[in-house]
Amino acid sequence: MRYSESFIYTLKEDQKEAAIVSHNLLLRGGFISKLASGIYNYLPLGLRVIRKVSEIVREEMNAAGALEILMAAIQPAELWIESGRWNDYGKELLRIKDRGDRDFVFGPTHEEVVTDIVRKYAKSYKDLPFNLYQIQTKFRDEVRPRFGLMRGREFIMKDAYSFDADENGMDISYLKMRDAYYNIFRRCGLAFRSVEADTGSIGGKDSEEFMVLSKTGEDEIVVCDKCDYSANVERAESITKDEKGEELKLKKVETPNKQTIKDVCEFLNADERFSAKALVYKNEEGKIFCFFIEGDDELNEIKAARVTGSVELVMLSDEELKDAGLEKGYIGPINFPNKDIEVICDKRLENRNNLVVGANEEGYHYIGAKLHRDFECDKIADLREVKENELCPRCKQGKLKRIRGIEVGHIFKLGLKYSKAMKAEFLDKNGKTQPFYMGCYGIGIGRTAQAAIEQNHDEKGIIWPISIAPFEIEIVSLDTRDDGIRYYCDMLYDDMINNGFDVLYDERDERAGVKLNDMDLIGIPIRVVVGKKNFHSNKVEVSLRKNRDEKELVDIDAVFEYVMNLREQLYKELENIREA
């Protein structure tokens, strides 16, 4: 593409609306433009990147045996009612009506539609397994869109759905996708890691998220420094060294005006780890739960929601606590005052021989309390948030670290959830009707592109991995009025284009600084600069975006080959990128 014939508009100044580098650079480089909150237009440069990422995804999906389809973006409400998600999905689901007042949704995901397609056609075990995927625009009416393409409301996603005859088959399909994902993110030049994940509202059994490691990531993940254990904090577990403590007699003590765990423990001269604090939540149906965890632990709300089978948990207000008959600051598990509230204890409490707990009476606590001796609860579960440096639950030796990541992909084993709800069935060898075992696999295309910038940039701009750069090579002509230089540049450009390479040729009548700075901002990996300075000695300058200090003067006749080698080398480097 010749620059003068392109549609590239760069900005010198940082964009106010961008809170993170990658968003700022996408805007400044003229890759995207905002239309509304969380809704963006892809300009030529941005679209090229989206296409590059999509193509890598497509190649790897196809290589894994998946079949590309394209489903309708607008879906009838009936399917969502059938799956039960018309109610469960909530406000994030964009609902629209047609002229006949019939309900539709703009698809945020396609489990329902794909299941509907499959149940119509695939009737025999002989058809299985298969995996259908698409790359398509989705819409989720996020409460808080932010960071450009990172969390848009309208976004491009690759979603794949596997169908198998049995659980074993599903596991194999899942592993195939897992492999494909490793290939995809590696080819995109990203430092990433796959982590155990919570399944969230989509439901299902196992699931893993693919995280691009970045300080600005919205997700926190826990990794072991010895083995390959890694998990989203939402689900991470750990081994803690438990001291049981001395077994003491239960005793009620006065604790006037001491409501927080810290105050109480200080007052009683007790270790916070030997106390149980109460956290009271209600779920979407208004059902109330009281969780007891150790005084210095944090409740992991995701785990808590899963244990209670809730979609969402909200903390009770002071007033609601009072209405429930609970004494704020003094809530304890002994003689718990409200039988309608489910009481759940963190499993760590089982290991303590003496605990400080509230007495359900203003101004009093118990000391020396012990689970199963002095009190019982409805459930015991893992409720706590993992802390840094605790022991790895897998190798039992490494220490856990908390780092941040950007979730660019997510794979799930769905099992029978949708096939049962929507009666998607086939006949097995014995002529028996069976529901499909399903899996679903997503990749955020735009998010992946932006994550690449977050990971690869400097103060001048983007440093694209060659595989997803809008162009692989740029030719900058610094003396556009010199006939010899123009003739040479035109030739070189034509040569490269005719050989199928992606080249941006800057032949604008601008000063050198303007052109070079624009190119640095846009971030094209290989740069060829042709100017008087070297051209008269039959040389041009070639350099890489990622290392501008190493400029090579190449003989004008050898440039084509030199650049082709560089290009090949850059692609090869991607193959060597390891999982972070």
Rounded CA-CA distance 29/523 in Å is 9
Question: What are the φ and ψ backbone dihedral angles of 515, each rounded to 5 degrees?
Answer: -70, -45
Measured from the CB atom, is 166 or 510 closer to RNA? 510
Cβ burial, residue 497 (10 Å; 0-12/13-18/19+): middle
> For every residue of 359-417, which 3-state class applies, written as one string?
CCCCCEEEEEECECCCECCCEEECCECCCCCCECCCCCCCEEEEEEEEEEEEEEEEECH
For the chain, the maximum distance between any two Cα atoms, rounded to a whole number of angstroms, is 97
444 binds RNA (CB under 7 A): yes
155 binds RNA (CB under 7 A): yes
Q: Which helix (H) or strand (E) holds 443?
A: strand 437-444
Q: Which of 348, 410, 413, 567 binds RNA (CB under 7 A)?
A: 410
Q: Which of 421, 533, 546, 579 binds RNA (CB under 7 A)?
A: 533
CA nearest to 434, candidates 192, 164, 229: 164
CA nearest to 449, candidates 268, 190, 275: 190
Q: Which of 129, 152, 169, 333 binds RNA (CB under 7 A)?
A: 152
Measured from the CB atom, is 148 or 358 closer to RNA? 148
Taking CB under 7 A as the binding criterion, the range among 55-63, 186-194, 535-543, 570-578 that sits at the site for RNA is: 535-543
31 binds RNA (CB under 7 A): no
Q: Which of 512, 555, 569, 573 binds RNA (CB under 7 A)?
A: 512
CB of 84 to RNA, least distance (A): 15
Q: Which of 98, 167, 179, 218 binds RNA (CB under 7 A)?
A: 218
Q: Which of 510, 574, 579, 580 binds RNA (CB under 7 A)?
A: 510
511 binds RNA (CB under 7 A): yes
Sheet strand arrangement including 379-381: 313-315, 276-283, 288-294, 342-346, 379-381
Q: Footprint of RNA on residues 92-151 (CB under 7 A)?
A: 92, 109, 140, 142-147, 149-151
Say how far residue 413 (Cα) sits from the centre of its chain.
Answer: 17
Cβ burial, residue 481 (10 Å; 0-12/13-18/19+): exposed
For 92, the token pair is 């994030």
Q: Footprint of RNA on residues 541-570 (CB under 7 A)?
A: 541, 548, 551
Taking CB under 7 A as the binding criterion, the range among 31-39, 53-61, 337-345, 558-566 that sits at the site for RNA is: 31-39
Measured from the CB atom, is 153 or 282 closer to RNA? 153
Q: Which of 5, 7, 16, 318 binds RNA (CB under 7 A)?
A: 16
69 binds RNA (CB under 7 A): no
Q: Which of 113, 343, 408, 489 binds RNA (CB under 7 A)?
A: 408
Taking CB under 7 A as the binding criterion, the range among 58-66, 162-170, 199-207, 360-368 that sits at the site for RNA is: 199-207
535 binds RNA (CB under 7 A): yes
481 binds RNA (CB under 7 A): yes
Sheet strand arrangement including 539-544: 503-506, 473-477, 526-530, 539-544, 547-555
CB 360 within 8 A of CB 335: yes
Cβ burial, residue 249 (10 Å; 0-12/13-18/19+): exposed
CB of 142 to RNA, least distance (A): 6
Output 276-279 pairs: Cβ under 8 A, ≥24 positions apart. 276/332, 276/333, 276/345, 276/349, 276/355, 276/356, 276/357, 276/369, 278/326, 278/331, 278/332, 278/333, 278/358, 279/315
315 binds RNA (CB under 7 A): no
309 binds RNA (CB under 7 A): no
297 binds RNA (CB under 7 A): no
6 binds RNA (CB under 7 A): no
Q: Which of 355, 367, 438, 540 binds RNA (CB under 7 A)?
A: 540
402 binds RNA (CB under 7 A): no
Rounded CA-CA distance 473/504 in Å is 6
Q: Footprint of RNA on residues 219-278 (CB under 7 A)?
A: 219
CB of 571 to RNA, least distance (A): 23
Residue indicated by tokens 């001491």: 258
CB of 205 to RNA, least distance (A): 14
13 binds RNA (CB under 7 A): yes
Rounded CA-CA distance 109/138 in Å is 7
Rounded CA-CA distance 507/517 in Å is 14
Residue indicated by tokens 């019982």: 376
Q: Which of 76, 245, 363, 531 binds RNA (CB under 7 A)?
A: 531
37 binds RNA (CB under 7 A): yes
Q: Which of 200, 245, 363, 398 binds RNA (CB under 7 A)?
A: 200
CB of 488 to RNA, least distance (A): 12
For 471, the token pair is 């162009």
339 binds RNA (CB under 7 A): no
Q: Which of 1, 8, 26, 157 binds RNA (CB under 7 A)?
A: 157
Measured from the CB atom, is 373 or 511 closer to RNA? 511
Q: Which of 62, 124, 168, 201 binds RNA (CB under 7 A)?
A: 201
Half-sphere exposure of 37 (CA within 13 A, CB side): 7
